[in-house]
């Protein structure tokens, strides 16, 4: 895309590009863009797509064991949505000139990441509630902000996804509420799930702004519109009330209203655990990836059969013409 | 083949950041010509910043008459909507 430009021409284009961004205009697929902008987007969008798809596993784990037919239908619909989100995002990433095969290959080789939260196991039904409430809740904070990202196809994908997400968090919260208002044992289940998913949910927003490798450039290019720490704070602030209403306790002794800041203060994240989970050392990391690879391989014959059928149809048609 | 040239469908992006939207069709000999015609016919008042032209014959469309069998299973799933879940007022903005 940047072929054969003199340094001066390149600088000129980069200036125009930044002016367009500063003027809040979207970048569209056929526009000239700095190679690093393209790379940065591919990294972020594919990581996002992989997260949607890998995220189907921990929830899928409970579809057959949902406590009622109604809850089962809801969970099935939600997991189906997440698969769709993966598709929207892969397709949007492909407008940047990378193929689906390349995207999947880098997931399978481990060079592309996905949200580390999906490397935690879902041990009880309450975990499905905690995931909808907290994990989808955190994802929504992020995605609402990304509706204003500078890349057109990504932004439009986010608008569509946000519309569909609206029921995900509510169904999760509804599960938690029902358990929290049930028997003592059920309430304990809900609290236990909250204890395990709270901190990993906070990690979903990524490292502190000061430690985030890609943040400054992403903000300048408006790929990201709000920083990791801003979004994390927003999430904490909204979650406090939500926990209070169903009388569950957020597992953080340092959580305290700060009158001066107008926000809640909260404790420090265990960044060592974050790093471990992000680099394949999470409790279910190997299993998640192995399952995805296996599903991909198991589907190979279907793709092959479809190709064979189409080429036979074409042959028959060509023969009829000849 | 009719004596007219092939039919093309025209889609226009009115502003950066928005989707291309179908605006109409026209006859042309080939894609490049269709693009020029579309510019002349559909964007005389700078209605767009980007035009797509697609051969009408290449469009595969579902039929409204097939709605029932095509979409049927989707209508009885109210739980796909946020309003299906009744939450306490204090957190209802979720
Ligand atoms: Fe999603
Ligand atoms: Fe979701």
CB contact under 8 A, A173 and B85: yes
- In the block, residue with structure tokens 């809640």: A264
Phi then psi for A23, rounded to 5 degrees? -85, 10
Does pLDDT of B94 surpass 80?
A: yes
Whole-number pLDDT of residue B2: 59
Average pLDDT over residues A76-88: 96
CB contact under 8 A, B94 and A173: yes
Closest residue of chain B to A162, computed from CA coordinates: B82
Residue B11 maps to a domain: yes
User: How many other β-carbons are positioned within 10 Å of the β-carbon of residue A230?
Assistant: 15
Residue B90 maps to a domain: no
Q: Which two tokens stand for residue A103?
A: 């995207």
Q: Which two tokens stand for residue A182?
A: 């049930």
Residue B92 maps to a domain: no
Average pLDDT over residues A193-201: 97
- Which residue pairs from A266-271 have beta carbons closer than 8 angstroms and sit at least 24 positions apart in sequence? A266/A202, A266/A236, A269/A199, A269/A202, A269/A203, A270/A199, A271/A207
CA distance B91 to A10: 51
pLDDT grade, residue B68 (50/70/90)?
confident
CA distance A270 to A147: 30
CA distance A205 to A122: 20
Distance from the first to the final alpha carbon of chain A:
42
DSSP state letters, A88-107:
HHHHHHHTTT--HHHHHHHH
Distance of CA B91 to the CA centre of its chain: 37
pLDDT grade, residue B67 (50/70/90)?
confident
pLDDT grade, residue A195 (50/70/90)?
very high
Listed in sequence order, the DSSP H helices in B43-88 are 67-71
**By residue range, what is the domain housing residue B41?**
6-84
Residue B93 maps to a domain: no
Residue B1 maps to a domain: no
Whole-number pLDDT of residue A3: 65
Residue B80 maps to a domain: yes
Residues of A in contact with B78 (CB under 8 A): none
Give bridge partners of residue B45 from the DSSP assignment: none
Residue of A220, A210, A224 whose CA lies nearest to A41: A224
pLDDT grade, residue B72 (50/70/90)?
low
Interface confidence (ipTM) of the complex: 0.84
CA distance B14 to B45: 11
The CATH number of whichever domain residue B43 belongs to comes to 3.10.20.520
Chain A residues whose C-beta sits inside 8 Å of any chain B C-beta: 25-28, 30, 70, 73-74, 77, 81, 137, 152, 155-156, 166-167, 169-171, 173-174, 177, 241-242, 245
Contact indicator for A72, A260 with CB cutoff of 8 Å: no
Listed in sequence order, the DSSP H helices in A181-246 are 184-203, 215-220, 228-245
Question: Choosing among A161, A167, A245, which should be mutated to test the B contact, i.e. which has the most B CBs within 10 A?
Answer: A167
B89 touches chain A (CB under 8 A): no
**Which residues crowd ion ligand 1, with CB under 5 Å?**
A 52, 82, 85
A94-A30-A16 Cα angle (round to 5): 125
Question: Choosing among B11, B13, B17, B77, which should be mutated to test the A contact, i.e. which has the most A CBs within 10 A?
Answer: B17
Residue B15 maps to a domain: yes
User: How many other β-carbons are positioned within 10 Å of the β-carbon of residue B90?
Assistant: 11
Distances, alpha carbon A291 to alpha carbons A55, A92, A112, A123, A288, in Å? 12, 25, 16, 18, 5
Q: How many domains does chain B have?
A: 1
> Sheet harboring B50-55: ordered strands across?
B21-28, B6-13, B50-55
Residue B21 maps to a domain: yes
> Looking at residue B55, what DSSP letter applies?
E
Q: How far off is chain B from A281, nearest CA to CA, in Å?
A: 33
Residue of A83, A167, A169 whose CA lies nearest to B81: A167
CB contact under 8 A, B16 and A152: yes
Average pLDDT across chain A, whole number? 94
CA distance A147 to A140: 10
Does pLDDT of A69 surpass 90?
A: yes
Whole-number pLDDT of residue B46: 82
Average pLDDT over residues A297-304: 96
Lowest mean pLDDT among A81-85, A129-133, A207-211: A207-211
Does pLDDT of B64 surpass 80?
A: no
Does pLDDT of B75 surpass 80?
A: no
Question: Choosing among B11, B15, B16, B92, which should be mutated to test the A contact, i.e. which has the most A CBs within 10 A?
Answer: B16
Q: Which two tokens stand for residue B18?
A: 């928005």
Does pLDDT of A214 surpass 80?
A: no
Average pLDDT over residues A152-156: 97
Q: How far off is chain A from B13, nearest CA to CA, in Å?
A: 11
CA distance A113 to A104: 11
Q: Angle between the A300-321 and A285-298 helix axes, to the nearest 10 degrees?
A: 20
Q: Which two tokens stand for residue A275?
A: 């790093």
């Amino acid at each position: 895309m940047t072929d054969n430009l003199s340094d001066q021409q390149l600088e000129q284009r980069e200036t125009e590009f930044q002016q367009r961004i500063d003027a809040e205009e979207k970048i569209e697929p056929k526009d000239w863009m700095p190679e690093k902008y393209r790379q940065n987007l591919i990294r972020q969008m594919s990581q996002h797509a992989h997260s949607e798809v890998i995220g189907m596993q921990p929830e899928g784990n409970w579809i057959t064991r949902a406590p009622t037919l109604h809850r089962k239908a809801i969970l099935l619909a939600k997991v189906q949505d997440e698969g769709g989100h993966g598709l929207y995002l892969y397709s949007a990433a492909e407008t940047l000139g990378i193929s689906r095969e390349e995207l999947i290959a880098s997931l399978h080789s481990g060079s592309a990441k996905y949200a580390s939260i999906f490397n935690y196991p879902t041990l009880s039904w309450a975990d499905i509630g905690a995931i909808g409430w907290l994990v989808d809740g955190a994802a929504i904070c992020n995605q609402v902000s990304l509706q204003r990202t500078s890349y057109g196809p990504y932004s439009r994908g986010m608008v569509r996804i946000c519309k569909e997400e609206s029921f995900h968090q509510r169904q999760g919260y509804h599960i938690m509420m029902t358990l929290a208002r049930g028997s003592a044992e059920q309430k304990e289940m809900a609290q236990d799930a909250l204890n395990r998913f709270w901190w990993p949910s906070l990690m979903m927003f990524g490292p502190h702004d000061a430690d985030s490798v890609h943040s400054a450039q992403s903000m300048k290019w408006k790929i990201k519109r709000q920083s990791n720490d801003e979004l994390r704070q927003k999430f904490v602030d909204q979650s406090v009330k939500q926990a209070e209403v169903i009388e569950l306790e957020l597992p953080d002794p340092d959580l305290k209203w700060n009158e001066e800041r107008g926000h809640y203060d909260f404790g420090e994240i265990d960044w060592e655990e974050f790093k471990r989970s992000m680099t394949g050392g999470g409790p279910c990391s190997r299993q998640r990836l192995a399952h995805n690879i296996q599903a991909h391989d198991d589907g190979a014959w279907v793709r092959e059969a479809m190709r064979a059928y189409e080429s036979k149809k074409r042959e028959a048609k060509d023969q009829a013409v000849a | 083949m009719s004596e007219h040239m092939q039919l093309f469908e025209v889609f226009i992006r009115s502003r950066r950041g928005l989707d291309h939207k179908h605006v109409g069709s026209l006859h042309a000999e080939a894609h490049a010509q269709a693009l020029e015609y579309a510019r002349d016919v559909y964007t005389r008042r700078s209605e767009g910043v980007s035009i797509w032209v697609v051969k009408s014959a290449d469009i595969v469309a579902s039929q409204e008459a097939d709605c029932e069998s095509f979409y049927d299973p989707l209508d009885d799933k109210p739980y796909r909507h946020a309003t299906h879940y009744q939450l306490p007022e204090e957190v209802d903005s979720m």
